[in-house]
Structure formats: structure tokens, C-alpha cells
Chain A
């Protein structure tokens, strides 16, 4: 269950050289507007921005850190991938596309046909393909295996009818990777098939569902006789559950978002150093600065545990779920501190601050609250904290109900 040492603790010269190389690249290649959005905790950040960044990274051969060289990846070691991700976050750069580089690419490399690799990998790597994930349905959330959206065989094609919900970024996506019901005769985990669906196919309609803070990421997607060629099936028919879960396990791992939270915590510190309190600044206040320290410790626990589990590769099972549970908790704690740091200004939801040159508000008032509300999602999606606890109870602790 646990490794007894912290691998990668000793810092090699090579890795520091690599780190420096990444930093220099970001300094030169990261467009200012993207940097600004990242520094505003990604407020207003869109899949088009990710695409743009993927294109820039792709030119350098760095858009898909985990891919092997033969498929166009950089062939980096775990340590290098880890450092790369950290440096992106700490230098205000966007993450690589999680769906493309982190999830569907690796799944295609593992399970895809040669034809599929040729058709999809280049577009995933250079940002041309924007993906959405069609798993959840109105009645299949935590109980994902009960999904009902049907893909019926018709000659070489599948014909999809039904709907998917909570589909992030479906309005931007040109492809969906989705789980569909191809057989309902057996166990509910059987008879699920993973299909890659061209979002331009006739019969697909996308209905946005605004989030409560005003975000535009969520959608419901309706399918009416949507025809998908059999060549777009990833893995064997009816066996999509295990591939879908494999992809989800990749999502779960990066989703502790330690690096992003580190950067966020740094920015809370910067805000606290500017917000006035009595005759000094908030950062001088023992109560508040201890909260920052406490959040830093909580984050460090996740970071160290992530390192320990990440580098003990053969041990990577359900334990990884604990990283998401704790990582998202700290993330929510840190963004709440950002709102708290703003004092009375934390209640504002300013539309447009450009007209306020004569009476400026704290910069972060523009985004901290919205992002704080939006990040309530992190404990719900990609395996809710409750579902992950169930997984740990069952698979790690071997408890049965």
C-alpha cells in the first residue's frame, strides 16, 4: 500500500537543467493574454485558449508530455513530466489539454487501431481536435454504468439516440469521446461501447446549461439518429466500460491539481500583501497568515503523497483517489482564502472594471468569487469525493456493504 521513501528527493543536475529550459521556453512563448487569464485563476479561459497553447507547445514537441516518441511525444521520464507540469503552473502558463494529451491520446496509443492513431493523434497533439467527454447522463451520474444512451448497430455503423448531460465544453468541441449502450441484456457494466463522435454529424444538438456563477461550460447533448462509423469505436464492442474507466483513472491522477493550487496560493499571498489591515497589510495579520501556512501544509501533504505514489508506478491503484479527494479540498480552501483576503470586497461581482480608473477595486475582486463558486465542481466531477471514498473503502480497505 505504501512506498517507504520519497523518490526523486535528490535533485539531479539534469533535471534542474531541464527545469531551466522549460522556464526559458515559457518566458518566450507564452502569449501575454493567456498569462493574464491564468493569473486570474483561468477566469474567462476557453478551450480555444487551450488549443492555441497546444499549438505553441506542439511546435516545440511538448504538447503531450506523457506520449512516447514514436507517437509524437517527447518521451520524457516521469520526473520530467512532473517538473514540466509544475513549471507550467508556477510560471502562469495554461495546462496542456487534459482530454487530448492526458486522456484520449494515451487511450488511443494503448487501445486504438493503427488507422485511429493516424487519424486522431496528430490533431490531438496540435490542438486542432477539441474534445468533450460524453459519459454522464441525467440518470447515470455516480452510477455511471447504468447509462442508457443507445448506439445501435446498423451495418458498419452505429446509430446513437438519447442524451448526455454535464458535457463540459460541448459547444467548443469538434469531437466527443463517449460511452454508449450497445447491449442491455447482461450486467450493466457489460454492453457499453466507447465511440469517437464527430460533433458535426447531423442529429446532434447542444444545449448550454449555465452554471450558477454564470459560467458557460456545461451542456446537455441530444442525439437523434446520429450515425457513427464503426471505425470510430475505441476498443472492442461492449467492452467500453474498462477503457472508459482507464481514461477516468488518468483524469483522477492529474486532478489533484497540486501545481495549480500552489500557484493560486502564491497569488493569495500577493493579494494579502496588498490588502490593507489596520496600519499595515493583511499578510502581517497572525490569524490570516497562519491560514496561509495551514493551507500550504495541507497542500504539501498532497504533493509529497502524490510524488510517493506517482513514482512507485506499480502501486498505482485506487490509492490515487485519495489525491483527488484531498487535492480538491485544498484547492477549494485556497480559493476561499482568496475571497476572504478581499475583505468586504469579496462580496462583489463586478461586471467590468475598466470604467473604474478613478476608483479602482482590488484586482482579484473581478474573478476570485466567480472562480471560488466554479471550483465547487472539483469535488463533484471526475469522480465525486463520495464516490472516491466508496472506491477506497471497497478496493483499498476491502470493506463490503
Chain B
């Protein structure tokens, strides 16, 4: 799975894997999920020290100069070890929103903190009526006496509970479903008028509803112009999709490997379960799903800064999402009764797969995007 990575990247992947194996055994992971924040602060500090938060940011913003491949490496390991915490929220979503947007002042103000682990960001884009459509934005930002006023409601905001600054997609002009007229706004979490309602997601992460009740912002908090907001948002979300696909792939490999190990040792009918051909074929299918998915992850990751981005990312989301769900369900099934229990990881991998499928657009959403894009009308074998 390390094919095509540089030596430095391989070393980074190994160190990260070792760190998580040593510091976050499953029991400790479970204890962390049960804390109010839902993650292990101590492990988080060590992840910061290892450079996880900085890995994908340019050096000029306090990063280590990596990019999508570093996110992929981290995602794969986090998926394997069922890591919780606001990495996706702060680094991939909030951090990259600021990075891809157009305010140098905000980049200077927050990115070094994100990379150094002292600041946390979040991105708020989901709305009740929008389902999976990024451009369906009712939250409004309107000029009033030289200031701007932000009003609306955002749901299932990853890491909203931990964020110092929340990047919000808001409509500056046009109708609810126009692609034009959307801006990204940086809002300090403690600004007057911001109310947070925190919930848990099935994977143990915290997500929030953010109520914006006449929040006053000034011009400098608008990170994009109204003609750029959606393009930046789509680019950020595509990075996030590539990342969660890597996470899902890591999770799948882990499920496959532990299920394989389990069936090699579990005895029924005076034989190991792995000796039954019906089960051997099931394991082979899991293995095939893992290999196919990893190819899609690599493709999506490498396409992020190319014209193939949208096509590769949506394709990966569909394929990897469905595989992740299937592999985890099979993992539970093949474990039998013990697969249904809290203290065995396999069920928690299933929860992670369900969250992955429900976030950033489900299969139907991405199939719709692919089917309606001109690329799909012509032969696209490259």
C-alpha cells in the first residue's frame, strides 16, 4: 500500500502507525470517545508533534510542504486505528477552506496555529433543505450600514464543538439554489449571535448545529468574493472526500485483516472456520474490495489538483463508500455474535463506514453529478 510514496512519506506512515499502535489501543480509543470532546487529547498532542496537522500545508503557512498524499497517508492510518478527533474538521475542511480561499490576512492569522496544533477550525456547509447539494445555501450574509450580518442555520458541522473559528458558506446574492453569489465567511466561534448545539456522530466524533442569529461580521471576514465561494467550497469538499476515502480504505483493510485472522483461529465443527470454502470465498471478496478501493483512493488523491478532479473524486466516493459499507457488514457477520459487541472494533468500523456514506454526498448524489457531467457523455477511458 505504500507503492509510489517517497522514502520520507513511507517513514512518516510507519511512524504514525507505530504511534497509534502504541498510544491508542482499542480500549483507550473507546475511553476517549466517551469523554466530552470525544477524542484523546494526549494522543492528539503526539500527533501534533509528529507533524500530522502541519503535513499538508505549505511551509509559508507553518506547514511541512506536503499535500494530498500526506492527507491520504494520515487518513489510511486514522481509519485503521479508528482515530477520533477534529483532524478532518480542522485540518482538511477548515484549514483547506482558508488555504484555498483568497484572504492572505486569514491565512496568516489561523493557518500557522492549525499546523502547530494550537488552533482548531471547522467548516459549516450543510443545511436542512440542501441535503447533499453544496450550492443550496439559505444562510445569508447581507450588507447593513457598512457591516455585514450573517443569519441562518448550519447542521452536522464536524468539529463544531471544538473550533475556534468556523468557516461558513453563506449567500451574498441570488436565489437559494444559484451557483453564483456564495461566499465563505470566517466566524470566531465566540462571536455574539453564534449558538452551538453539539451532537455525536455514530463514529464517536462530535458534530454541531450552528445557529447564526444576526452575527455581525466585517468585510475582512469574507474569505471569497461571491463568484468564487462555490468553487473554493467544491475544491475543499473534494479534498475531504479523497481524505475520507483513504480513511475508509484503511478501515476496510483493518476489518479484512482482523476477520481473516479471526476465521483462521475460531473453531466450530472441530475445524477452523477459515477452512470452510463458503467462508474462504467471502474473505476473498473482502480482499478484492480492499485492493479495488485502494486504487480508487490513489486515483482520487492524485487527481485533486488536475482537471480530472471532480470525476475521480465522485467515482471514488461511490466505489469506496459502497465497498466500505459492505466490508464492514461482512466483517460483523463473519465474526458472529462477538461481532455485535461494543468491545470488539469491527462494529465501530461499520459505524465509521455509515458516517462516511452519509457525509459529503451519498452514492446517488455523486452518481447524479457524474451522470450529468459532460465527461460522462463521451468515452472517458484514459
Give CA–CA (A396, B333) in the complex, Å: 24
- What total of A-B pairs shows CB separation below 8 Å? 147
A384 within 8 A of B: yes
Contact with A along B115-156 (1 / 0, CB 8 A): 000000000001011111100100000000000000001011
Question: Which of A141, A355, A369 touches B202 (beta carbons < 8 Å)?
Answer: A369
Q: Given the interface contacts A287-B368, A386-B278, does A343 sit within 8 Å of B358 by beta carbon?
A: yes
Measured CB to CB, the nearest residue on chain B to A352 is B199
Contact with B along A141-170 (1 / 0, CB 8 A): 111001000000000000000000110000
A343 neighbours in B (Cβ, 8 Å): 131-132, 358, 362
Q: Is the CB of B337 within 8 A of A136?
A: yes
B336 neighbours in A (Cβ, 8 Å): 141-142, 380, 384
A348 within 8 A of B: yes
A141 neighbours in B (Cβ, 8 Å): 268, 336-337
Contact with A along B176-211 (1 / 0, CB 8 A): 010000000000000000000101111100010101
Q: Is the CB of B131 within 8 A of A212?
A: no
Give CA–CA (A348, B336) in the complex, Å: 26
Give CA–CA (A377, B268) in the complex, Å: 19
B105 within 8 A of A: no
Give CA–CA (A213, B280) in the complex, Å: 28
Which of A344, A356, A361 has the most chain B CB within a 10 Å cutoff? A344
Q: Is the CB of A212 within 8 A of B199?
A: no
A212 neighbours in B (Cβ, 8 Å): 340-342, 344, 346-348, 350-351
A342 neighbours in B (Cβ, 8 Å): 358
B279 within 8 A of A: yes
B279 neighbours in A (Cβ, 8 Å): 386
Q: Given the interface contacts A142-B268, A343-B358, A376-B332, does A350 sit within 8 Å of B132 by beta carbon?
A: no
A201 within 8 A of B: no
Question: Which of B270, B342, B343 touches A214 (beta carbons < 8 Å)?
Answer: B342
Measured CB to CB, the nearest residue on chain B to A276 is B129
Which of A139, A282, A376, A385 has the most chain B CB within a 10 Å cutoff? A376
Give CA–CA (A142, B276) in the complex, Å: 13
Q: Is the CB of B351 within 8 A of A373?
A: yes
Q: Given the interface contacts A288-B364, A358-B211, A369-B354, does A350 sit within 8 Å of B340 by beta carbon?
A: no
Question: Which of B156, B341, B354, B355 touches A211 (beta carbons < 8 Å)?
Answer: B341
> B interface vs A, CB < 8 Å?
126, 128-133, 136, 153, 155-156, 177, 197, 199-203, 207, 209, 211, 267-270, 278-279, 329, 332-333, 336-337, 339-344, 346-348, 350-351, 354-355, 357-359, 362, 364, 367-368
| A–B pairs, 13, beta carbons within 8 Å | A142-B336, A213-B351, A340-B362, A342-B358, A343-B358, A344-B126, A344-B358, A347-B201, A348-B207, A372-B354, A376-B333, A380-B333, A386-B279
